[in-house]
Structure formats: structure tokens, C-alpha cells
């Protein structure tokens, strides 16, 4: 890229602009590696809500630029029932009912750890299941048990070297927090020239 302007202005903006460009380019490049690893499967790579304060919109844009998908921007667009919510409400069904009563129009995702929990969540009416730290064998069993009654998102401990194996289970998504919290930066510099 070429930028032009007064030298003082360019030097003043250089570090901030490069920091953002290097960071977002790193996120996009890392995401592209995941998207390529999932090629030929139905699974898509997702980011998570684990973003840098103040940079969520930019980081999520970088994920899209790299070939990934944004599932949620925050808790306002998808309600999330996690382990503590299940415990506090007295179970998956009770937690789902409370969320649905309070926010009837918001899609609900339930984090599950077992096939039995996955089936309970779907029977309660969950739109999405977050399949937490499951082995490929467990994921295959959930896919067979749930079918197309909910979107299935594998998460937890996923790395590029096992991505294709997890995608082959038939899940719809692999969610990878590392896209936005651990992507290496791309080394980009700015050199001044005359003319």
C-alpha cells in the first residue's frame, strides 16, 4: 500500500496504524489457515466473543476477511446457557425455559458436555449446541443423535493439526477463541520515500 501526506502526520500515525494493521492481518491470516484446513467439509470456523476490548468489530471483520464466520457479536444476539446457568436454574430445561420466557425472540445456545445433555437441550428447544471439549467420537455420536434439530458447534482444545478430524464428525462449526486472542501478528513496516 502507498500512503501520502505530510511527514510529521505520517510519522505520528505510523505506530498506531501499523499496530492495528499487523494485528488484524495476523487474525485474518490465522483464520485463513483454519478455513483451508476445513475445506471439503461442511464445518466452518467461527470466532468467539473473546476479543480485545475496543477492537471487537475490527477483529471480527478480520475473521471474515480470512474466510471465517462470526457467530455472535455479544450476548444480545444469541443467549448462552453455560454450566453455571444450568446449575443455578436447576438444569438445562429449567435454564432454557427461563431464558425463553425473558427473551422469547433471542436464539438460545446451550453448552453441553455429554450426549444426554445434548438431547435434553434439543428437546427443550435449543437452537444451537456448544459441544464443549468433546472427543471426535463423542461429537460423531451427538451428530447422529441430534441430526439437524440444532446447529452443532465444537469447541475447546481445538488446534489446526486436528481441525480436519473434528470437522469430519459432521459438526457445523468449530469455534476457535485463538483466532482473536492468540493470533500472531503479521510483520508489516512502513518506509518513507521521496517523490
In this prediction, residue 77 carries a pLDDT of 82
Q: Is 132 a catalytic residue?
A: yes
Q: Is 137 a catalytic residue?
A: no
| Separation of alpha carbons 185 and 8, rounded Å | 26
| Separation of alpha carbons 55 and 139, rounded Å | 32
CATH 3.20.20.70 fits 7-181, yes or no: yes
pLDDT band, very low/low/confident/very high, at 145 (cuts 50, 70, 90) = very high
Average pLDDT over every residue of 162-166: 96
Mean pLDDT of the chain: 92
Q: Is 111 a catalytic residue?
A: yes
Q: Say which of 82, 83, 123, 165 is annotated catalytic.
A: 82
In this prediction, residue 65 carries a pLDDT of 97
Average pLDDT over every residue of 18-44: 95
pLDDT tens digit sequence for 36-88: 999 999 999 999 878 888 888 999 999 999 999 998 777 678 889 999 999 99
Give me the DSSP letters along 72-88: -SSTTTSEEE-HHHHHH
Q: Is 161 a catalytic residue?
A: no
Residue 32 and residue 158 in contact, taking contact as beta carbons nearer than 8 Å: no
Domain map of the chain by residue range?
7-181
The strand ranges marked E within the chain are 44-46, 79-81, 108-112, 128-132, 151-155, 173-175
Hunting for cell 483454519 — which residue is that? 34
Q: Say which of 59, 111, 153, 172 is annotated catalytic.
A: 111
Residue 59 and residue 180 in contact, taking contact as beta carbons nearer than 8 Å: yes
| Separation of alpha carbons 56 and 23, rounded Å | 12
Q: Is 165 a catalytic residue?
A: no
Amino acid at each position: 500500500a502507498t500512503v501520502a501526506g505530510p511527514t510529521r502526520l505520517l510519522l505520528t500515525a505510523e505506530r498506531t496504524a501499523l499496530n492495528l494493521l499487523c494485528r488484524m492481518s495476523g487474525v485474518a491470516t490465522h483464520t485463513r489457515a483454519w478455513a483451508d484446513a476445513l475445506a471439503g467439509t461442511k464445518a466452518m470456523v467461527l470466532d468467539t466473543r473473546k476479543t480485545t476490548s475496543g477492537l471487537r468489530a475490527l477483529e471480527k471483520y478480520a475473521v471474515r476477511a480470512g474466510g471465517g464466520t462470526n457467530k455472535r457479536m455479544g450476548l444480545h444476539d444469541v443467549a448462552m446457557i453455560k454450566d453455571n446457568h444450568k446449575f443455578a436454574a436447576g438444569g438445562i430445561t429449567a435454564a432454557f425455559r427461563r431464558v425463553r420466557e425473558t427473551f422469547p425472540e433471542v436464539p438460545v445456545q446451550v453448552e453441553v458436555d455429554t450426549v444426554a445433555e445434548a438431547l435434553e437441550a434439543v428437546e427443550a428447544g435449543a437452537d444451537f449446541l456448544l459441544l464443549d471439549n468433546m472427543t471426535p467420537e463423542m461429537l460423531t455420536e451427538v451428530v447422529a443423535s441430534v441430526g439437524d434439530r440444532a446447529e452443532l458447534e465444537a469447541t475447546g482444545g481445538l488446534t489446526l493439526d486436528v481441525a480436519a478430524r473434528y470437522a469430519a464428525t459432521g459438526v457445523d462449526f468449530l469455534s476457535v477463541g485463538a483466532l482473536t486472542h492468540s493470533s500472531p501478528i503479521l510483520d508489516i513496516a512502513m518506509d518513507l520515500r521521496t517523490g
